[in-house]
Structure 1
Amino acid sequence: MRNAVEQMQERVPGRLEITKEGIVHDMGSPAGPHGLTAVRVSRRLEKAMPEELVAHTGTPDVEGPSEGIMRHPDVMVIAEADMEVEGSFDPRTLIAAIEVVSRSNPDNDWVSKMRDYPLLGIPVYVIFDPRTGTGAVLSDIHPTPSGPRYATRKEFVYGEDVTIGEWAITTQDLPLYA
């Protein structure tokens, strides 16, 4: 499936990702409220974190080949040293994956990634939803009969401070979709 995604990615807008259920096409644009939210969250985190950590908004993907999953978080909290690899990042090196909910496919963030990220071993998953001005921090992976899941969910409303890993940032002035 990875080869198919790589071949198609050049010809289609948006991003293609591989989930346990197949290929997901996210038409989300990096511009507008989506991109601005990712940039503001990234900058705020980088001000709060130690210098050796980054809140990365670029490529590459995060891939768990044994799980058959390839995802591209909007923001990845990772040690700079763990970025010194060829190809996709190892998901077990991420401290957190942060997603800004896509207007075109919100279930990708609220359902599919909520299932895939604990399966990949990403300890913290944060969702910012510009549709509603709310979000959630998910953590504490635990086993369930249907696979690993996050045991703890802390919801927040834009305007409140949110704690991501060890660092608190404000959600003031995050844009909403019109």
Structure 2
Amino acid sequence: MTVAPGSAQQGTARLYRAMRDFVQSTDDTLPGKFEITKEGIVLDMMSPSGRHELTALRLRKRLEKVMPEEIVAHTGEPDVEDEPEGVMRRPDVMVIAEEDMDTEGSISPRALIAAVEVVSRSNPDNDWVGKVRDYPLLGIPVYAVFDPRTGTGAVFTDIHGTPDGPRYATRKDFLYGEDVTIADWTIPTHDLPRYPD
């Protein structure tokens, strides 16, 4: 059977809408956090731990100390969504102009200045693999990863085209305790909690 390109695109759009409807219908009814990636629905079964949330809180506060008042480091909802790409994510911290949050529904990923993720203990590949693939595709210029399992992280920048689609060209690794630059702002990483062994 031959599928015309228009039919294939319509089928992909329908599949994405069905996945989005499912994810939205499960909010607050099932444990964990659902996101839609290029490869389907991802579920982080465990609720974020106190150390995960404390890391996100400290990063948000440190960023907001050094950023201009009109830029915020937002934690929580809504999702970041690019329907044509079929991706819906919820970064732990979104660096965004406050005025760009004044929207109904999801936030456009192209409005983000940076996305910051704290690696989940139960699904680290979601942050280190899936989001490294999805965030440049969505046009998010800076992606910072903090990993409480190892006390390390990385900042990804400089989106460029590759045969596999847009990818980050630059990766700067860091250790907890070092200063880290995210977009135009440098913050300390001392006293970030670690997951127990």
Report the TM-score range of the alignment, normalised by the length of the smaller protein.
over 0.9
Q: Which residue of 2 aligns with 1:154?
A: 172
- Count of residues in correspondence between the two structures: 178
CA deviation profile, 1:15-58 (whole Å, cap 9, x unmatched):
10000000000134344110000000000000000000000002
Q: Which residue of 1 aligns with 2:144?
A: 126
Change (3 A) 1:128 1:87: same
TM-score, normalised by the number of residues in structure 2: 0.89
Letter in 2 for 1:73: P
Q: Which residue of 2 aligns with 1:36?
A: 54
Counterpart selection for 2:81 from 57, 63, 66: 63
CA deviation profile, 1:139-169 (whole Å, cap 9, x unmatched):
0000000000000000000000000001000
For residues 3-42 of structure 1, the aligned pairs below 5 Å read: 3-42=21-60
Instruction: Specify every segment of 5 or more residues in structure 2 that has no aligned partner in the other structure, as ranges.
Output: 1-18
TM-score, normalised by the number of residues in structure 1: 0.98
The sequence identity of aligned pairs, in percent, is: 71
The structure with higher relative contact order (CA 8 Å, sep 6+) is 1
Note the C-alpha offset of 1:70: 0.1
Q: Which residue of 1 aligns with 2:192?
A: 174
In structure 2, what is the Cα distance between the partners aligned to 1:8 and 1:82?
Answer: 27
Note the C-alpha offset of 1:12: 1.1
Instruction: Specify every segment of 5 or more residues in structure 1 that has no aligned partner in the other structure, as ranges.
Output: none
Q: Which runs of 4+ in 1 moved over 3 A?
A: none
Q: Is the 8 A contact 2:35 2:90 kept in 1?
A: yes
Counterpart selection for 1:76 from 79, 94, 100: 94
Q: Check if 1:96 corresponds to 2:114.
A: yes
Q: Which residue of 2 aligns with 1:108?
A: 126
Two-structure CA RMSD over aligned residues (Å): 0.8
Larger radius of gyration: 2
Higher strand share: 1
Q: Is the 8 A contact 1:29 1:35 kept in 2?
A: no
